[in-house]
């Protein structure tokens, strides 16, 4: 058996693909495909864009109808769809970050120890993070609850250059009180032990270091009243409460955000998007999605990328299917300007996954 770890030159990769039945319309198409292999590599371009319909029954040999241009066509469409969705999805992430930052600053207001500086002590942390559970903390940290919360809030600060830059800017130019109150160690945290004695945080600066997963964890840990406040404001981003007169449970928002986190990482890290599916596993989530898009949503059913786009449009209050229209316009334009023959199989893959009829 040939080792999967054997290195193949681009020339050998082309020969390997030809042995598997991949055809090239002409020399120009082959040269263009070589450029794609050089830019994106074999693993992403071939294995990453594996669709059963492209292959014969053995699932190794390309269908007789498939040419290299079909694979490039699918890759280009997928990458553009990903870029379009990411452009709009980022607004949801920024909005969630802004809401959490605002709610935390407001909640910590009575514990302020100087302008903009939040005091993270046992009393303030336990009141604000009423739903915190120790099992969600990495096991090696055995400190008391309030210290664990501080650890999590500050987790990425030492690795975030933006955090370091803004903190220094605030110290040097904006507010003398911050210079006095914020210790230099906050932007150079090496070990959790340094946080034990650290209680003062410039929260608005710190929030720039939180990842989407961090934001979900913070929301899950907030007390019930703060969760309620954030949840209503999050969905009022698209006036969903106002239009549909519904109340969403906290568990449904958590499930939505956790599914969004997986999708967000796929967008950000260049995973294939075109055949991405989201499965509705609870009645609460089905009800929530149904309220967002104004359509019936069924439990234990998987929905494709068009459905996910509708959810994003609903949350962000993007009217007239703007994202879907942008995707369709790109696909139609690419199809119209394609000089090469694109197989019906490839067009059917687009239709099946994006709900767009190809001509």
How many other CB atoms sit within 10 Å of the CB of residue 30? 14
98/203 Cα distance (integer angstroms): 11
92/268 Cα distance (integer angstroms): 14
The 8 Å CB, 24+ separation contacts for 335-341 are 335/359, 338/69, 338/73, 340/25, 340/29, 340/67, 340/69, 341/25, 341/67, 341/69
Judge if 37 and 108 occupy the same domain.
no
Judge if 110 and 224 occupy the same domain.
yes
Judge if 123 and 221 occupy the same domain.
yes
Q: How many domains does the chain have?
A: 3
The pLDDT score that the predictor gives to residue 133 is: 55
Judge if 60 and 112 occupy the same domain.
no
Largest CA distance in the chain: 72
Domain that holds residue 16: 1-66
The pLDDT score that the predictor gives to residue 151 is: 59
The 3-state DSSP class for residue 160 equals coil
Among 188, 201, 138, CA closest to 160: 188
Judge if 259 and 198 occupy the same domain.
no
Tell me if 82 is assigned to some domain.
Answer: no
Tell me if 75 is assigned to some domain.
Answer: no
Element (H, E) at 279: strand 278-280
Tell me if 12 is assigned to some domain.
Answer: yes
Judge if 216 and 296 occupy the same domain.
no
Query: What is this structure's pTM?
Result: 0.79
The 3-state DSSP class for residue 119 equals strand
What tens-digit pLDDT sequence spans the chain (359 residues)?
A: 345 567 889 999 999 999 999 999 999 999 999 999 999 999 899 988 889 999 999 988 999 999 999 999 999 999 999 999 999 999 999 999 999 988 888 887 766 554 445 556 666 666 777 666 544 443 333 344 555 565 556 554 444 444 455 455 544 544 444 444 444 434 444 433 434 444 455 677 677 778 898 888 888 888 888 888 898 888 875 555 445 555 678 888 899 999 999 999 999 998 999 999 999 999 989 988 988 888 899 999 999 999 999 999 988 888 888 999 999 899 888 887 776 678 889 989 988 888 766 55
Judge if 153 and 211 occupy the same domain.
yes
Judge if 131 and 200 occupy the same domain.
yes
Tell me if 127 is assigned to some domain.
Answer: yes
Judge if 109 and 54 occupy the same domain.
no
Domain boundary residue, one of 66, 83, 116: 66
The pLDDT score that the predictor gives to residue 319 is: 83
User: How far are the Cα atoms of 209, 234, 242, 260, 310 from residue 246, in angstroms, in the given order?
Assistant: 33, 13, 8, 21, 18
Judge if 222 and 115 occupy the same domain.
yes
Judge if 156 and 250 occupy the same domain.
no
Tell me if 71 is assigned to some domain.
Answer: no
Judge if 113 and 224 occupy the same domain.
yes
């Amino acid at each position: 058996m040939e080792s999967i770890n054997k290195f193949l030159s681009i020339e050998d990769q082309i020969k390997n693909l030809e042995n598997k039945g991949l055809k090239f319309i002409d020399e120009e198409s082959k040269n263009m495909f070589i450029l794609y292999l050089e830019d994106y590599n074999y693993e992403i371009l071939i294995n990453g864009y594996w669709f059963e319909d492209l292959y014969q029954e053995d699932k190794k040999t390309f269908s007789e109808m498939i040419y290299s241009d079909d694979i490039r066509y699918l890759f280009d469409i997928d990458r553009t769809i990903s870029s379009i969705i990411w452009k709009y999805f980022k607004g949801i992430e920024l909005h969630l970050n802004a809401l959490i930052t605002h709610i935390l600053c407001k909640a910590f207001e009575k514990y302020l120890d100087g302008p903009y500086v939040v005091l993270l002590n046992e009393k303030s942390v336990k009141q604000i993070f009423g739903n915190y559970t120790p099992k969600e903390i990495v096991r090696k940290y055995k400190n008391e609850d309030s210290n664990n919360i501080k650890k999590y809030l500050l987790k990425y600060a030492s690795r975030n250059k933006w955090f370091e830059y803004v903190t220094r800017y605030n110290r040097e130019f904006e507010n003398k009180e911050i210079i006095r109150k914020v210790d230099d160690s906050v932007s150079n945290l090496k070990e959790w032990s340094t946080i034990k004695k650290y209680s003062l945080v410039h929260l608005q600066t710190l929030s720039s270091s939180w990842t989407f997963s961090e934001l979900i964890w913070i929301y899950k840990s907030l007390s019930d009243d703060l969760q309620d406040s954030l949840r209503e404001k999050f969905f009022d981003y698209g006036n969903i409460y106002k239009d549909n007169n519904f109340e969403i449970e906290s568990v449904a928002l958590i499930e939505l955000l956790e599914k969004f986190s997986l999708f967000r990482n796929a967008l950000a890290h260049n995973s294939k998007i075109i055949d991405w599916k989201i499965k509705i596993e609870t009645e609460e989530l089905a009800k929530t999605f149904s309220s967002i898009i104004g359509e019936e949503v069924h439990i234990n059913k998987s929905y494709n990328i068009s459905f996910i786009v509708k959810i994003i449009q609903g949350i962000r209050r993007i009217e007239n299917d703007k994202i879907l229209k942008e995707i369709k316009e790109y696909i139609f334009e690419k199809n119209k300007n394609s000089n090469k023959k694109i197989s019906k199989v490839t067009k059917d893959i687009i239709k099946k996954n994006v709900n767009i009829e190809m001509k």
